[in-house]
Structure 1
């Protein structure tokens, strides 16, 4: 990791000096997560939401986009490209937005279907010569590993990329990394999540990614399922998806951070697609041996009232702010939620 501007990273640097004006933020993907991201950004003083893209178009306004009008336009017409006067319809929305918009950092609220999609988006940014901060909420270990293979290219391109920065991986991975400090040896990290949503159609891509983890399913099969097929599956399960031993990037992220081997990490949970109430409390349990030889378990539990969107978007923008701090110091490359502390966005 290089300090290209020669700044001593041990020097105290205030938030005010790094954020003398609002950070211009874009959101790629405008489904349930992207729309929630827009609402999370609305009251923030340190970040200004100026750009959004979906698969049919994009919207850009250097003075800031209005979440309510963008969401209403998307829900009524299927794309922010229809937004007047700042929208543009396009079959190459991401590429065109990168080239047109002046944006400091993007939250990639994109469906990672196929599994190579996020890495291909990162390449688009590099090929366009764009420099700034990217943050994602990737789930799968194999998807994060693809980005890990791009570390040197991202660094050379002047991009600071924060990966796995949602809830899990993300918030719970970071909590596990902190909890691990009490121990001399980590025996296990067990992440269990409960998600409740009133209507699966509000988070179609997320639910398809979850279905891909079910026995007998994979990414390709889930991606190719029609909405009717998804609904039929949910009818069979009464709207409940029970997920065990998922391929979740918490494992590789904790391994990279030197916490424990990836086979010590397990992730699973329950998703209720018909009820906003969580079917169980989301938590991470870190079990280990202290230097005195005691075996103990730390448990960090999220409040049941916090939604999936709150637990994904909040950390994502906290990590985006941390990434901006790194980028302004000339520190580029790929980082995970287990390596860097997020900064709270005012």
Structure 2
């Protein structure tokens, strides 16, 4: 049941690197209150708000938010149990999409539960978003407003490309290049495995099956650098759905340094097109190097969650992408 008061009650599913960063992003907000969280082994719910430090400490020291006193519960079906208990307006799905069907499975679980509200993900893969597109009708019928691809890329940079495209009569190319620097890959295990799945000779199943030691060995060989080209990234399908250009004109790649918090290169999107006067030109939108991956993923995710709440309160349900709807800034 969605509240009609000003404060939006938010849950975070998944409490790895992104989930923990999401808790930090929400801490100072007055328009959103973080009330629910689940990881693989348990969940925590407190309608007056959760303590980020306590949840992060429970994860670090005992392996689950289920150990947070007095609100935590250990559970093998943590998401289902949290859903049945928690009173929330929306959830950020900070979950690893491993296997590649996982996010669609989670969406189906929400549909079947009878829950109504807003869901936001930061999905990467085109094929994962295609699976969600097949659930459009079911999400709409269930009274769920689902915002997909709402991280950094896809997300912030896709939306920037959609805006930049307006200067042109025809779009020739959209090229997204990202640089990510993290001091320690273990803080973002699932994200790094998803990146490894894009490397030549790897796929989602192979990356998912890798032990931490095997990931360490791979990173040892590459000096901690993952260089990624022509990734299967949902920016392409999102810009195609928005009518901006065909997906074959969109390319995404980047460099991830797993041993250094400094970005190996500046994250940017270049949109090249032809104006109505026949001029060929390129717009470039560059993110500040000081903004972390977490800041560029979680900030937009909650901006899109707020936009989703506005749609939901007007009775608009179904599936939307970051290229279709403007995010709203969360105070």
Q: TM-score range by the shorter chain?
A: over 0.9
Query: Aligned to 1:286, what secondary structure does the other structure show?
Result: strand
Equivalent of residue 268 in structure 1, options 253, 274, 283: 253
Residues 83-112 of structure 1: CA deviation (Å, up to 9, x unaligned): 111000011000111111001000000000
Tell me which residue corresponds to 2:112: 127
Kindly indicate whether residue 293 of structure 2 is the aligned counterpart of residue 308 of structure 1. yes
Kindly indicate whether residue 139 of structure 2 is the aligned counterpart of residue 160 of structure 1. no
Kindly indicate whether residue 204 of structure 2 is the aligned counterpart of residue 219 of structure 1. yes
- The whole-number CA distance in structure 2 between the counterparts of 1:103 and 1:90 is 19
Query: Aligned to 2:175, what secondary structure does the other structure show?
Result: strand
- The whole-number CA distance in structure 1 between the counterparts of 2:41 and 2:246 is 42
Q: Are the aligned partners of 1:160 and 1:327 in contact in 2 as well (CA < 8 Å)?
A: yes
- The whole-number CA distance in structure 2 between the counterparts of 1:234 and 1:209 is 14
Tell me which residue corresponds to 1:171: 156
Ranges of 4+ aligned residues in structure 1 off by more than 6 Å: none
Tell me which residue corresponds to 1:291: 276
- The whole-number CA distance in structure 2 between the counterparts of 1:20 and 1:307 is 32
Query: Aligned to 1:276, what secondary structure does the other structure show?
Result: coil
- The whole-number CA distance in structure 2 between the counterparts of 1:99 and 1:113 is 24
- The whole-number CA distance in structure 2 between the counterparts of 1:63 and 1:76 is 24
Tell me which residue corresponds to 1:248: 233
- The whole-number CA distance in structure 2 between the counterparts of 1:143 and 1:182 is 30
Residues 277-297 of structure 1: CA deviation (Å, up to 9, x unaligned): 000000000000000000000
Kindly indicate whether residue 101 of structure 2 is the aligned counterpart of residue 112 of structure 1. no
Kindly indicate whether residue 136 of structure 2 is the aligned counterpart of residue 151 of structure 1. yes
Query: Aligned to 1:121, what secondary structure does the other structure show?
Result: helix
In the TM superposition, what is the alpha-carbon distance from 1:19 to its structure 2 partner? 6.9
- The whole-number CA distance in structure 2 between the counterparts of 1:273 and 1:152 is 40
Tell me which residue corresponds to 1:72: 57
- The whole-number CA distance in structure 2 between the counterparts of 1:322 and 1:77 is 36
| Structure 1: gaps (5+ residues) | 1-17
Equivalent of residue 79 in structure 2, options 90, 94, 104: 94
Tell me which residue corresponds to 2:68: 83
Residues 171-213 of structure 1: CA deviation (Å, up to 9, x unaligned): 0000000000000000000000000000000000000000000
Tell me which residue corresponds to 1:39: 24
Tell me which residue corresponds to 2:243: 258
Give the aligned length: 329
Normalised to the residue count of structure 2, the TM-score between the two structures is 0.99
Tell me which residue corresponds to 1:335: 320
Q: Are the aligned partners of 1:282 and 1:304 in contact in 2 as well (CA < 8 Å)?
A: yes
Query: Aligned to 1:52, what secondary structure does the other structure show?
Result: strand
- The whole-number CA distance in structure 2 between the counterparts of 1:65 and 1:123 is 27
Query: Aligned to 1:88, what secondary structure does the other structure show?
Result: strand
Equivalent of residue 141 in structure 1, options 94, 110, 126: 126
Query: Aligned to 1:174, what secondary structure does the other structure show?
Result: helix
Q: Are the aligned partners of 1:19 and 1:46 in contact in 2 as well (CA < 8 Å)?
A: no
Query: Aligned to 2:276, what secondary structure does the other structure show?
Result: coil
- The whole-number CA distance in structure 2 between the counterparts of 1:204 and 1:30 is 11
In the TM superposition, what is the alpha-carbon distance from 1:78 to its structure 2 partner? 0.6
Tell me which residue corresponds to 2:42: 57
In the TM superposition, what is the alpha-carbon distance from 1:20 to its structure 2 partner? 3.7
What is the RMSD of the two structures over their aligned residues, measured on CA atoms?
0.7
Tell me which residue corresponds to 1:321: 306
Kindly indicate whether residue 168 of structure 2 is the aligned counterpart of residue 183 of structure 1. yes
- The whole-number CA distance in structure 2 between the counterparts of 1:134 and 1:345 is 16
